[in-house]
Amino acid sequence: MSEKLITVTSPLLPNLDEFNEMLKEIWASKWITNMGQFHNQLEKALAEYLHVPYVCLFTNGTLPLMTALQALRITGEVITTPYSFVATTHSIWWNGCKPVFVDIDPATGNMDPERIEAAITPATTCIMPVHCYGKPCNTKRIQEIADKYGLKVIYDAAHAFGLEVPAKEYGLPAYDEKGMAGIMNAGDMSTLSFHATKVYNTIEGGALVVHDEKIKKRIDNLKNFGITDEVTVVAPGINGKMDEMRSAYGLLNLKQVDAAIKARNEVAKKYRAALRNVPGVSFWDDMPGVRHNYSYFPIFINADEFGMSRDDLYFKMKEAGVLSRRYFYPLISNFPTYRGLPTANKENLPLGNKMADEVLCLPMHHNLSEEDIKRVLNFFKI
């Protein structure tokens, strides 16, 4: 391959010299895990950045999902979306609960709130929506339904780092005079992933956003085996703690994430301008009033109009050294481990299946050059 490989994503990396200086502090302290100084600093810094009361750090993005269900003592059925990464549904299953799939809104890729009530049974205890591709769910409507039926709401916000929305429209408390709110204030809890592929990363990592000090203390116990002191274990917890090295890495990345989001926005603008009138290609514009993070740039291929199937385009790009991603394909409900669920059948999820069969996420990250973007767009004959 003569040309360089264009990857679908690229990790945000801190300045190596600054990181080495922080590593020297860690080496000097000999405190490398168990909620050290950088861990605690990062929790506070993230809470401030995200405009939320409390952040609980974890060593990856799946453990917060599992721990949120444990902390809220969720049992029975959990209504969720099939259009997500498998960790969303896996966390429900690992907690001994039953996933119940509802179809999506094709305008956002998110769970359709108007389909939730029909899926509620006496066994339903929780709703687990996903802010897909960083597009905010209809949090106001979902909360109305949850309140009506006495259900908990846990948001999988793995894609939604830094996402801000008009507070009144989304039923959230405003943090400034412009009436904006951090999306992580929605529901009972929100979970984040800080995986290397995300807008903001700590190599591997994640977080759980909670709204009061009492529940934060419970989460902190659960992520440390349920230990409260050297002689007391109050719950069957897990080991989910983030170490000091990744906490330091995260503190440095937090200083540059806004610049990375700005660069991603410029890429999105160029893609939209070039692709807007290409037959058989559709995409989403920004939502009114929302501060997006441009974590992904999904397009949708109508094979009849485009003259090539989504899969043919995917492999053609791959052969030329341009990596895209069929994300999310297949639907979670179509994996063998979940196909037996009554709500997993394709007749129940026509819109999710259609989107999964048409979606292609183009390369999207802060390191894309003008030449990279041109090579991506060359596949669309423009």
45 with 170, same domain: the answer is: yes
228 with 261, same domain: the answer is: no
- 199-252, pLDDT tens digit by residue? 999 999 999 999 999 999 999 999 999 999 999 999 999 999 999 999 999 999
| Local confidence band at 3 (pLDDT 50, 70, 90 cut-offs) | confident
265 with 215, same domain: the answer is: no
Strands (E), 13-94: 54-58, 77-80
Using CA atoms, how far apart are residues 335 and 89, in angstroms rounded to an integer? 11
Is residue 5 domain-resident? no
| Local confidence band at 2 (pLDDT 50, 70, 90 cut-offs) | low
Q: Which two tokens stand for residue 353?
A: 């299946």
- 10-29, pLDDT tens digit by residue? 999 999 999 999 999 999 99
Average pLDDT rounded to a whole number, residues 253-271: 98
Is residue 1 domain-resident? no
Q: If you average pLDDT over every residue of the chain, what do you get? A: 97
275 with 250, same domain: the answer is: no
| Local confidence band at 101 (pLDDT 50, 70, 90 cut-offs) | very high
296 with 150, same domain: the answer is: no
Cβ-based neighbour number of residue 126 at 10 Å: 26
- 306-317, pLDDT tens digit by residue? 999 999 999 999
Least Cα distance to 219 among 243, 241, 200, 202 occurs for 241
Find the angle CA(288)-CA(291)-CA(172) to the nearest 5 degrees: 80
321 with 339, same domain: the answer is: yes
Is residue 4 domain-resident? no
Of the three residues 254, 274, 305, the one that is the final residue of a domain is 254
Number of separate domains in the chain: 2
Q: pTM for this structure?
A: 0.97
332 with 205, same domain: the answer is: no
Least Cα distance to 42 among 20, 24, 57 occurs for 57
* Burial 221-239, CB ≥16 within 10 A → b, else e: bbbbeebeeeeeeeeebbe
Give the list of residues 6+ apart from residue 307 with CB closer than 8 angstroms, or none.
280
Is residue 91 domain-resident? yes
Is residue 112 domain-resident? yes
359 with 233, same domain: the answer is: no
326 with 196, same domain: the answer is: no
CATH number at residue 296: 3.90.1150.10
Range of the domain at 322: 257-380
241 with 267, same domain: the answer is: no
| Local confidence band at 381 (pLDDT 50, 70, 90 cut-offs) | confident
Is residue 250 domain-resident? yes
Of the three residues 233, 254, 275, the one that is the final residue of a domain is 254
Of the three residues 254, 278, 303, the one that is the final residue of a domain is 254
Is residue 297 domain-resident? yes
Q: Could you give the strand order of the β-sheet that contains 54-58, starting from the edge strand earlier in sequence? A: 54-58, 206-210, 189-193, 152-156, 124-128, 77-80, 98-101
Average pLDDT rounded to a whole number, residues 288-304: 98
| Local confidence band at 283 (pLDDT 50, 70, 90 cut-offs) | very high
- 128-175, pLDDT tens digit by residue? 999 999 999 999 999 999 999 999 999 999 999 999 999 999 999 999
Counting residues of the chain whose pLDDT is more than 70, the rounded percentage is: 99
Average pLDDT rounded to a whole number, residues 91-101: 98
Is residue 11 domain-resident? no
CATH number at residue 138: 3.40.640.10
250 with 264, same domain: the answer is: no
Q: Bridge-partner residues for 232, per DSSP? A: 229
Cα of 314 vs its chain's centroid, Å: 23
Amino acid at 267: V
25 with 106, same domain: the answer is: yes
193: left (phi over 0), alpha (psi -120 to 50) or beta: beta
Average pLDDT rounded to a whole number, residues 71-94: 98
